[in-house]
Amino acid sequence: MNDRALAIDPDNAFVEKKIIAGAEDGPLSGLTFGVKDNIAVADMLFTAGHPLFDTRRAVKTAPSVESLLGAGADFIGMTHTDAGGFGAITPQTQNPVVPTHIVGGSSGGSAAAVARGACDFAVGTDTGGSVRMPAACTGLTAFKPTYGRVSNDGVWPLTPQLDHVGIIARDLDILGRAGRVLIDAPDTDETPDAALTIGVEIDKAGLFDPAYAAELDIIADTLAGAGHTVSRVPIAGRENIAEAHGIIVLSEAAAIYADLDADQRGRLGKAAAAGLRHAENLTEEAVQAAWEWTRAVSSRMATTMTDLDVLISPTLPIALPTVGAKRVNLGGEEVPVVVGMALLTCLANLTGNPVVTLPNPRSSATPPSSLQLMGKLGSDAELFGFAGRINMDLQ
């Protein structure tokens, strides 16, 4: 990594750049990574995207980052985020793959850095899909672990009961290597030879872009032809899951920012300030109902996953929004961009299941359409192998 590489940042992916060398030897030696600006790296900016914290620096490095440095990866800088992790756009950062379209968020700077080639992988946080959405927007892979598998120490929170530290990488090999370090699993090739039991989501609610729904039909047929046991699986209440998720996120975020005075709130990022204003209108009954819905969804998903190795869904139900778009079409209805973007990703935050996101090998779009592969709770290490096998069989 030379000084010129550190200076180049045409997409405004980085808040601050600096090389911190990893251990001399380890499974990630030779790889470089960035870290989202809501995860602490000692002496680096730690603003979480808020003007209020624009000079704040971290005192101690988060354990998740320490593990990657200890495995030999070299840190190169802090990457931009939507303010506080509230958004799905990262408006200050350009998408290096398709500049006319959003880079996604809230880990948009992390995705842009990897897509541009500034680093091999980047660390982000995922509360409703915030590593998976930007990976989908830039043709990359991503990993959200089982809830609680990776420490959230050193992370500026959005919703502690849904926050996950995750990874965006340029390919499945790097994703698996870095992901296994993150979850403290053996660095081995676990691509299975045996056939898998795969569920492919069927869109009973009519929410998916027609092109994505058609792709799922092809994926199901292709994987069955490769010898896997494939079933079509509906997810009950898809249209209501995002509403419950949004209520929970805003109610918990309101508690985190409750001690700020009016002046301090005025210096938060726009997405955060807007979210907190919405939170003021939530009733205790609505929050309790959202948690009851979440428990019911989690129970149903545990039953659904009992006989499956992997559940395949689109990462995004909608075509990639253009820069500046405020609303998108979702199932014939105009909804805010963040609702459309997070509709399919937020389920795994509510249930805690691990997910790997990868570009659809059968897609000819730029960027390719994106698939998310959900595994059983705790199946994180196996999921990397399942993703590799499915990716190979879809080629």
Task: Say whether 18 is catalytic.
Answer: no
Q: Which of 106, 110, 369, 379 is catalytic?
A: 106
**Residue 171 DSSP code:** S
Element holding 144 (H helix, E strand)? strand 141-144
Both tokens assigned to 369: 């359409």
Task: Say whether 313 is catalytic.
Answer: no
Closest C-alpha among 162, 117, 164 to residue 351: 162
Taking a C-beta distance cutoff of 8 angstroms, is the pair 133, 125 a contact? no
Task: Give, in order, the Cα–Cα distances in Å from 83 to each of 109, 276, 286.
Answer: 12, 12, 25
Both tokens assigned to 49: 């995207």
36-39-42 Cα angle (round to 5): 110
What angle, rounded to 10 degrees, do the helices at 210-225 and 380-393 form?
Answer: 90
Closest C-alpha among 219, 212, 218 to residue 316: 212
Both tokens assigned to 110: 């992390």
Q: Which of 36, 64, 363, 376 is catalytic?
A: 36
Task: Say whether 36 is catalytic.
Answer: yes
Backbone angles phi, psi at 370, to 5 degrees: -120, 140
382-183-64 Cα angle (round to 5): 155
Query: How many angstroms separate the CA atoms of 172 and 189, rounded?
Result: 12
Query: How many angstroms separate the CA atoms of 359 and 141, rounded?
Result: 7
Q: Which of 64, 67, 130, 370 is catalytic?
A: 130
Give how far the C-alpha of residue 138 lies from the chain's centroid of Cα atoms, to the nearest Å. Answer: 12
First to last CA, the chain: 33
User: Cis omega before residue 10 (within 30°)?
Assistant: no
Residue 336, SS3 per DSSP: strand
Query: How many angstroms separate the CA atoms of 195 and 197, rounded?
Result: 7
Q: 3-state SS of 220-258? A: HHHHHHCCCEEEEECCCCHHHHHHHHHHHHHHHHHHHCC
346: Cα within 13 Å, side-chain hemisphere:
28
Paired sense of beta strands 229-233 and 197-201, if any? parallel
Question: Looking at the annotation, which residues are catalytic?
Answer: 36, 106, 130
